[in-house]
Homo-oligomer: A and B are copies of this chain.
Amino acid sequence: MIDINIMKIMEIDTLLFAKVIADDTRQEIMKCLCCVWLSVNDVVEKLEGKVNQPTVSHHLKKLEEARLVFVREEGRQRFYTLNEEYLTVCCGALISKFAPSYSAQVVPLDSIPTSDA
């Protein structure tokens, strides 16, 4: 059980995770999507003209590919929300990879999501 989870956290692509969160606009979008479901246009409006719709779609796609958001389709709209749990697991993977001394006290081994999205 624990072994499986340790294996899973090892498989996490810390480079992909880092690259996806290493963008200002993307971090702003993540902040918007924390704890709430928003449509693409909701996000565009929340960013108040900083970027326009295709750019937001582009970033949401990146976040989706990195499993950092959940998507729910509803008619012609797509609602997104942040996958806080997976984000936490990725941070745990970073610590487990680069700060093994702090791994034990930090990584929540029993909250790792399964692969079937």
Complex Cα–Cα for A94 and B99 (A): 15
Question: In A3-55, which residues have CB < 8 Å from any B CB?
Answer: 14-15, 18-19, 21-24, 27, 30-31, 34-35
Q: How many copies of the polypeptide does the oligomer hold? A: 2
Given contacts A87-B99, A91-B91, A101-B84, contact A14 B27 (CB under 8 A): yes
Q: Mark A77-117, 1 if CB is under 8 A from B, else 0.
A: 00000101101100110110111111001101001000000
Distance between Cα atoms of A21 and B105 in the complex (Å): 22
> Given that A94-B91, A95-B88 are known contacts, is A108 also in contact with B106, CB under 8 Å in the complex?
yes
Cα(A85)–Cα(B19), bound, Å = 22
| A98 and B14 contact, Cβ closer than 8 Å, known pairs A19-B22, A108-B105 | no
Tell me, in angstroms, the Cα distance from A38 to B24 when the chains sit together.
Answer: 33
10 A-B pairs besides A88-B99, A92-B106 with CB distance below 8 A are A15-B23, A18-B22, A19-B22, A22-B22, A87-B94, A87-B99, A88-B102, A91-B95, A102-B108, A106-B106
